[in-house]
Amino acid sequence: MDYLTDYSGIHHGDLDPHVSEHTLVPLKVAYKKLRLLVDQGCTFIGHGLSKDFRIINIYVPPAQVYDTVDIYSSALNRRKISLRFLSWFLLKSDIQSGEHDSIEDARAALRLWKLAEKFKADGRFDDVMEDIFAEGKRLVRP
């Protein structure tokens, strides 16, 4: 079976409760735990969360979501900025260079959210966004 490990991060045996080193729970239990977190008002921070929520068919009130794909966006430029680029440019961190690692992505999104909050508090967020898009244009080849 092909687990598409580069994209999923899942290896042979990861989903087998007899050999997996991970704590596995049935899908129904995972959904119930997630629903409980939403109902208790938990805040979710990540990159591209609306797609994830849509795939698992759960509604999370917008007030409980900080999505770096939306935070680092511009009304003037409709292009969505990748987590990898934001991490490289703002955090000076090279992520997603190997197989998918959801923990690495989550940590990067949290750091980016905290950084955005700092930029906003310092009144520098708009300048940072201009720098991000300028660098992106510089890297795109004609």
CATH number of the domain within which 113 lies: 3.30.420.10
For residue 14, being part of any structural domain is answered with no
Asked if residue 7 is part of any domain, the answer here is no
Q: Does an H or E element contain 129, and which?
A: helix 125-139
pTM, 2 dp: 0.87
pLDDT at 127 over 90: yes
Single-letter residue type at 131: D
Helix (H) or strand (E) holding 37: helix 27-39
C-alpha distances (whole Å) from 95 to each of 10, 75, 99, 105 are 17, 27, 10, 8
Lowest mean pLDDT among 12-21, 45-54, 85-94: 12-21
Instruction: Give domain status of residue 71, yes or no.
Output: yes
pLDDT of residue 78: 81
The pLDDT of residue 6: 79
Query: Is residue 9 situated within a structural domain?
Result: no
125 to 59, 65, 79: CA distances (angstroms): 29, 19, 17
- Judged against a pLDDT cut of 80, whether residue 7 lies above it is answered with no
Number of domains forming the structure of the chain: 1
Token pair in block for residue 27: 């899908």
Q: What's the confidence (pLDDT) of residue 2?
A: 78
Whether the pLDDT of residue 141 is over 70: the answer is no
User: Quick check: is 86 in a domain?
Assistant: yes
Mean pLDDT of the chain: 92
DSSP letter assigned to residue 76: S
Q: Which domain holds residue 42?
A: 23-139
